[in-house]
Each structure stands twice: as structure tokens, then as C-alpha cells.
Amino acid sequence: MKVILSPEVAAALSAHQPVVALESTIIAHGMAYPANVETALAVEQAVRDHGAVPATIAVIGGKLKAGLSRDEIERFGQEGRGIMKVSVRDLPFVAGRGLDGATTVAATMRIAGMAGIPVFATGGMGGVHRRAGETFDVSADLTEMTRSNVAVVTAGAKAILDLPLTLERLETDGVPVIGYRTGEFPAFYSRSSGLKVPMRAETPDEIAAIMRSKWNLGLSGAVVVANPIPEAAEIPAAEIEPVIAVALAEADRLGIRGKDITPFLLSEIVQATEGRSLQANIALVKHNAKVAAEIAVAFAGN
């Protein structure tokens, strides 16, 4: 199955111009309406403002699409969780049934790779969940990191995860994790996690050179670009960690598991922080879009 490209995205790829993939789960499952639509459009604008073409990715009527119209983004925002959250595992189902689907990091990476879009901006990637030794809950995002040739610009992994184990898994799978102007792995809401990144880069050109080098060596899979949340928007780890612990306990009490747990936890944290975590989330995804666009420009120019 081919990916259906919007005319703008198709023209950019044909002309070897920079394009940045964006996910649609953040629209349907990450935020409430209308903040979800406002954020999606602002993220697309951030990509444009820094020289690249945005390609928001979703499944619509069973068709894989890269580059949504404003009306499609609006509909995803309004229907919200009525639209299925789709990882790679779910793609055959939604495609075969002709359904709509909001793509996760993993599914967005896969479709971006199929479309030939080498740079993807997200908020925070998935990873190894806390107590994974009991639940075996490990995000499909990590598996996809070994398969799709896409640079993923992310504010680290979501803070609700086990960050040390997530980094260990990425190392085991041979996925480069590059701190962008930082020596620490960011923790989504927080700039600091206390965990060192194995590599560091200071410029988009350096990231682009690493991407090209990896794939020219015949090494398949992603390059993770760990880009900290802007300092003015961060919630320090010491402040957010107790909030996360309470949200995790509530998820346990309610028996929430699998792909429902991340949106549940993020919603609980928004309520507990009186919206401050939502503002942090919006700030970091816009910042990631900016950096991703700069990397896409550098990669297209190499």
C-alpha cells in the first residue's frame, strides 16, 4: 500500500526539499479540543517558519496519509478519542476495515519511512514502562526504532516511563541517542534526568551528517535526537515526580493497562498541575518541531 501524499508534501519530496513528519495521536488522544487543533496547527507553522514542509500523518478511511488538510486536523481534534489510536500492529486492521486512525510515534515512523520522509518531530517517545519486569509493558516505539530510517526529535522519553531501562533498551538495539546541545537525557517535562546521553551534537548539520553516515553504513533504524524542553517551560523533576507517582497509583487502582495508560496518566497529570503540564507539553512539541525543521533543512542540503 502506498502512502497518499498531500500535493504540498508530494511536491516537496519530488524537489528534494525538507519535510518534517508529525504524528496525529497528539491531536486525537493527547489533548482536549480545541487546544489539540490549535497546537497541531501551531506545530505545523513552526515547521514552516524554519524552512520545511509539515506532513502530519494519519490513517483516513483506511488510507495512509502524509499531509493532512486543515479540515482533517479539525475533525480529528473534534472526534478525539472516538478515533482509534493506531500503532504499527493496528495498521492492517484500520487499513483493511477502511477506518480512521491517529498514528502513534511507531506508526508515524513507519509511514514516514515508507513515504521517504527522514525527519520526524514528536513530543516524547515511548519506552520501557515502570515495573515492566512485572507487566512486560514496553512501547512499540522502541521496536520501530530498529526498523524505520527516520530521525526522531523528541524531548526524551515520557516522564511516566522508566528512563534508565529505556536508554538500556536503545543501547541494546543499536539506536544512537544524541543529546542536542545537552549531555543529559531530557525527561519530557524536565530538562534534566540525571542520565547521561552517549553522544552529543551542537548543530543541525552535525545531526544531518550522523543520519547520513548511519544509513550509508547500511545500519537500519532511527536516530534519536534528544532535545530538552525550553528552560522557561520546564517543570523540574523533583516537582513533577510526586505527581507522576500519584497518577501511576490511580492507574493501578483502576486497572488501566496497555495503550490506554499513557493518555490516562497525561490527563491525570494535567489536572494535578492545573494545566501547567499541558503548557509544558505544548512548548516542548513546538520546540521539537523547530529543531526538526532545521535538521531537515540541513539533511536536504547535504
Q: How many domains is the chain built from?
A: 1
Indicate if 2 belongs to the active site.
Answer: no
Residue 133: what pLDDT?
67
- Strand ranges (DSSP E) for the chain? 4-5, 19-22, 53-60, 63-66, 84-86, 101-103, 119-121, 151-154, 177-180, 199-201, 223-226
- What residues make up the domain containing 261? 4-301
Q: 67-105: per-residue pLDDT in tens?
A: 999 999 999 999 999 999 999 999 999 999 999 999 999
Mean pLDDT of 3-20: 98
Per 3-state DSSP, what percentage of the chain is helix, strand, and coil (rounded to 5)?
50, 20, 30
At residue 138, φ and ψ (nearest 5 deg) are -125, 130
Name the pLDDT band for 302 (thresholds 50, 70, 90): low
CATH number at residue 194: 3.40.1790.10
Set 65, 85, 158, 214: catalytic member: 158
Set 23, 72, 144, 184: catalytic member: 23
Indicate if 241 belongs to the active site.
Answer: no
Mean pLDDT of 242-267: 82
